[in-house]
A and B are shown apart, each in its own frame.
Chain A
Amino acid sequence: MSQAALLLTMTVNGDPVEVAAPPHWTLLEVLRYKLDLIGSKQGCDKGDCGACTVQLDGAPVLACLTLAIEAEGRDVRTVEGLSHGLGRTKVHPLLDAFDRYDAAQCGFCTPGILMAAEALIRERRAPVSRQEAAEALASNLCRCTGYTKILDAVVDASAVMTGGESPDENEEVRDAG
């Protein structure tokens, strides 16, 4: 049982973090158990569902199959990080699109999907098609939505995030206040 913990240094959502973890822990355990970053979910235990997807140096990876030590010295971004630096009232355009389209039903797969989608849009720097989005998100299982509204939201957000207009024409009841 006696295992010397590793002392790891990494950047998490822009913050420098020092954290001690047993050598057999995954990055997912460090995030959830040590840093209380509960947005990254554990759904399947072993890389089959994508709910734990985070970004390591900008690329989506499965935190449940990443040893904690692999994050040493690297830049980790979790779903919580998407809302960092936006202030109290602003919403990340990707989250805003998911919210408008009701693309999160139970929301459990959503953080992983957001991290994969954000990486796609950032890399493409252009509006993405439904097919491109589907290909980029093909690691992520969603059991609620039938994927339709998620694709609507990603396509919409990619337009907004690359300087375009949202194609969303649906009447939404806005806050009257």
Chain B
Amino acid sequence: MLRLPHFQVAAPETLEEVVEALRATPDARLIAGGTDILPNLKHKLEAPPRLVTLGRVKGLRGIRRDDAAGVLRIGAGVRLSTIASDPTVGALFPSLAKSAGLVASPTIRNMATIGGNVNLDVRCRYVNQSDFWREGIGGGCIKSEGDVCHVVPKGRNCVAAMSSDNVPVLISLDASLLLVGPSGEREVAMADYYRADGTNHTKAEPGELTAEVRIPLPKGPRQTDYVKWAVRKSIDFPLVSVALRVDLDGEGAEAKITDVRVVVGVLGAKPREVTKLDAAIGRTLADPEVAALVSEAAFKQCKPLPNVPYDPAYRRQMIRVYVRRALAAMA
């Protein structure tokens, strides 16, 4: 059996105790559902002296609509299967219900939490392997124990891929994270949370944890979608991952587009928001130009890398196809 390295565990029950546990052991790592960190530990990608499990922290549970603040609050400890089937999430944020329901496999969704998923470590074919395997490629890479990049020759920056299904969706919905740490709470927009550095791909400070995901309630009519392509219909991480959101000025076919958001994952360490989509504004969804120009912009701006399997040129082409189809389906 592939063994876990030795570590101690702490099982605090309140957020304060979690913060204290992280303060007491600075190299400790948080574990929620365990579906990301435990394979990584079995692969000896890290060797924390202590794991702090969030399983007993009641303060991280629950989905709550907060009309006063105009947000839906999802506790970091809410399981992805719960989000996928939650009626409130489904009604307000169908693209999130969809992306949560497409993560990995049903059993993993019963375990994995939204807090864990937004902090999912970035992935790369040269990283997510055993320590023995990494020795075989000459001693790992800049994200593991080595000092080279196998994806970008001579690259100094880790480009391991953001592979969360939910992160692009949450960014497209303008979600933010409530972070709790030694110096209190802070809220960070998810669009600003990720860094283009696979060795340290979030802006969480040492000792901080994600306590809540906050999603602004929709202010007007809109269409959203999430598109995932993977080789298999279950278990796999995405190879193409796109979140879309189109805001409209009214209901019905005549409604004009007021904003278009397209966020693409599985490129580098940071999801990419497609820009320069202004030409779509003022048009209707039925206007074929919308799908054409948005998909073309996504194609131009997104450049998949060989950090995950399957030809990057193909995956790039598929971004265009899937964006166009998703927009066409909204019309």
Cβ-defined contact, B53 with A69, below 8 A = yes
Is B314 among interface residues, defined by CB-CB distance under 8 A? no
Distance in angstroms from A58 CB to nearest chain B CB is 10
Q: Indicate if the CB atoms of B110 and A61 lie closer than 8 Å.
A: yes
With A67-B38, A70-B53, A139-B235 as known contacts, state yes or no: A23 contacts B106, CB within 8 Å.
no
A-B contact pairs, 24 of them (CB 8 A): A23-B8, A24-B3, A24-B5, A24-B6, A29-B1, A45-B1, A46-B38, A47-B35, A47-B108, A59-B110, A60-B110, A61-B107, A62-B111, A65-B39, A67-B9, A70-B53, A116-B107, A135-B106, A137-B106, A138-B105, A138-B106, A139-B104, A139-B234, A139-B235
Interface assignment of B253: CB less than 8 Å from any CB of chain A: no
Judge whether A139 and B11 touch: CB under 8 Å: no
Q: What is the CA–CA distance of A65 and B38 in the complex, to the nearest angstrom?
A: 6
A26 contacts the other chain (CB 8 A): yes
Residues of B within 8 A of A (CB): 1-9, 11, 31, 33-35, 38-39, 42, 51, 53, 55, 81, 104-108, 110-111, 233-235
Most buried by B among A53, A67, A69: A67
Q: For residue B7, give the distance in angstroms from its CB to the closest CB of chain A.
A: 5
Cβ contacts A1-26/B at 8 Å (1 or 0 each):
10100100000000000000011111
- Chain B residues in 8 Å Cβ range of A23: 6-9, 51
The CA of A42 and the CA of B34, in the complex, are separated in Å by: 17
In the bound complex, CA of A23 to CA of B11 (Å): 11
Q: Mark A119-147, 1 if CB is under 8 A from B, else 0.
A: 00000000000000001111110000000
* B105–A22 CB distance below 8 A: no
Bound state CA distance, A47 and B10, in angstroms? 23
In the complex the two chains form, is A45's CB within 8 Å of B234's CB? Answer: no
| Chain B hits for A140, CB < 8 A | 107
Give every chain A residue within 8 A of B5 (Cβ-Cβ).
Answer: 24
User: Which chain B residues lie closer than 8 Å to A45 at the CB level?
Assistant: 1-2, 42
Q: Could you say which residues of chain A place their CB within 8 Å of the CB of B31?
A: 67
Cβ B11 vs Cβ A69 within 8 A: yes
- Rounded to whole angstroms, the CA-CA distance of A119 and B4 in the bound complex is 28
**Bound Cα distance A138, B105 (Å):** 6
Specify which chain A residues have a CB less than 8 angstroms from the CB of B34 in the assembled complex.
Answer: 65-67, 70
**Shortest CB–CB separation between residue A73 and chain B, in angstroms?**
9
- Identify which of residues 52-88 in chain A touch chain B, using a CB-to-CB cut-off of 8 Å: 53, 59-62, 65-67, 69-70, 72
User: Using Cβ atoms and an 8 Å threshold, which residues of chain B touch A67?
Assistant: 9, 31, 34, 38, 51, 53
CA distance A135 to B53 in the complex (A): 29
Q: At the interface, yes or no: A102 with Cβ under 8 Å from chain B?
A: no
Q: Measured between alpha carbons, how far is A135 from B2 in the docked complex, in Å? A: 28
Which residues of chain A from 91 to 132 have any CB-CB distance to chain B below 8 Å in the complex? 116
Report how far A128 CA is from B53 CA in the complex, Å.
Answer: 36
Cross-chain contact B2 with A46 (CB below 8 angstroms): yes
How far is A101 from B306 in the complex, measured between Cα atoms in Å? 44
A50: CB under 8 A from chain B? yes
